[in-house]
Amino acid sequence: MNHDSTPATGTTHVVSTHSVFGAPCWVSLTSRDLQATEDFYGAVLGWQWRQGKLGERFRIALAGGAPVAGIAGIASMWQMAVAWTPYFAVPSADDAVSRVQERGGTAAVGPLSFPPGRAALLADRDGATFGIWEGKLFSDWETWRRAAPAFIRLHTRDAFDAAIFYGEVLDWASDKPGCCEVHYEGDEVVLRSRGDIVARIESGALDEAPDPTIRPHWQVHFAVSDVAACARTAELHGGSVLTKGADEALLRDPDGAQFTVTSRTRR
């Protein structure tokens, strides 16, 4: 969900999900302890914070003054899992939820009203969790999109089957002007919006695997300049390193949420 709709840089330009439908429009973390979350991600990723317009339980993470992600301290209150979740822009939250349910997915939360829009938390038919957002995007959204601080990748059982599911729910590769383009590159599905790569889908996850890094899930990647330094700092601040390579590391924060840091040179 988008946690803030107030201009931070004086701009009055407003982007609606009607004009960028189907594309990832935000990433959000559900947390139990906002202060601990702020401390950890501030140290690991250098983020600063401002309170979101939805209330004291919500924060906007900033990098160099630009919005990066949202934090919602509602995991305990709403009995939700602590996790990073990507949100996709939709013109109608009700229609998107109906499409998900018709195709074997599930609706976990919503649609709920979060002025200036509506949100829902869903799962595809393989159990991967994602969100949808209908309405205005925050005023710095174009900055967020151009800076591409976050990237998402779906690890799932069958990439091509998943592409069909999300395509039907989110109008990918439809005949509607401005829809996201779907490309098949080897064993991956690549999603493009306005020519830019915004998501990838790959096969290999197992349906019933107990390890969340193996069963179907959306993984949120954050672009960083020094992967090794982020991994070291995560361990120093109570997190853990699940896997690490030269240009990518899978980390877990102290609350249990997993995310990936990826070298800015790799996409």
C-beta of residue 15 within 8 angstroms of C-beta of residue 142: yes
State the pLDDT at residue 149.
Answer: 65
State the pLDDT at residue 144.
Answer: 63
State the pLDDT at residue 28.
Answer: 92
Does residue 138 register a pLDDT over 80? no
Task: Write out pLDDT tens, residues 75-96.
Answer: 655 566 789 999 999 999 999 9
What average pLDDT does the segment 174-186 reach? 88
State the pLDDT at residue 142.
Answer: 64
Does residue 12 register a pLDDT over 60? no
State the pLDDT at residue 196.
Answer: 82
**pLDDT classification of 11: cutoffs 50, 70, 90:** very low
State the pLDDT at residue 214.
Answer: 81
Does residue 30 register a pLDDT over 70? yes
What are 191's two structure tokens? 């999603």
Which pTM value belongs to this model?
Answer: 0.88
What average pLDDT does the segment 166-184 reach? 91
